[in-house]
Structure 1
Amino acid sequence: MKMGIPGSAHAALSFGALTIGGGILGYVKKGSKPSLGAGVVCGSLLVASGMMISGEKQFEGHSLAAGTSGAMALALGSRFIKTEKFMPAGLISAISVTSLAYHTKKALEWKD
């Protein structure tokens, strides 16, 4: 019997896909190369963390997702404070904080 993707991996995989898509959208709509680069890099790290969580590296995967989410929360949170524009910086910083809290909790559960 083949096991599916564990539920805790879905959070990282979904946020990773959203981040990659958002980076691409920022580039297409505004020509923003920083959005494209950051979206692809951060999104890829989140997808990689989801794959780690799906395998045998749950602690490492949740730790990577928490670290990536924390960096995104800081970067986009400061942009939101500076611009006072909720979209996209405010929304993604809020999701990042939620992801940081979730993956930190899960990493602590898997810690040796």
Structure 2
Amino acid sequence: MHDFCFTIPYGLVLVIGGVIGYLKKGSMASLGGGAGTGLVLIFAGYLSLKAFEKRKNSFLGLAIETVCAAILTFVMGQRYMQTSKIMPAGIVAGISALMTLFYLYKIATGGNHIPAKAE
């Protein structure tokens, strides 16, 4: 599976979560953290998708994805430890940890698999 197949939906979930957090509680931290990070991830996924269309890998996109997911894992994991609230801290920390592992796997295996050209 290619990184952009998961990154773009992951980013969309974060954007939606950030907007919901802002609308429900007026939390600028939710808006900035969720929507901001989500938009960065969508951009990184787009970079990776465009590189894949050119039959290349975007290691910049993969690096951005990995750093964002790792930071979210750390920040939301700490928030979960402080509050013990599954929603949103525990869920975001868990998903972000899985995404970080996925991105590290993609880095270790050389990025997205580029299929051979059909002749």
In 1, Cα distance between equivalents of 2:110 and 2:58? 7
1:23 aligns with 2:7: no
Q: TM-score, normalised by structure 2?
A: 0.83
Question: CA RMSD for the aligned pairs?
Answer: 1.4
TM-score, normalised by the number of residues in structure 1? 0.88
Total equivalences in the alignment:
106
Would you say 1:12 and 2:7 are equivalent positions?
yes
Q: Distance in 2 between matches of 1:75 and 1:100?
A: 13
Sequence identity of aligned pairs in percent?
27
The one-letter amino acid paired with 2:33 is A
Higher helix share: 1
Structure 1 counterpart of 2:21, one-letter code: G
Q: How does 1:1-112 map to 2 (within 5 A)?
A: 7-56=2-51, 57-110=57-110
1:24-47 deviation per Cα after TM superposition (whole angstroms, max 9, x unaligned) = 000001110110011121101110
- Tell me if structure 2 keeps the 8 A contact 1:15–1:43: yes
The answer to whether the 8 A contact 1:59-1:110 is kept is no
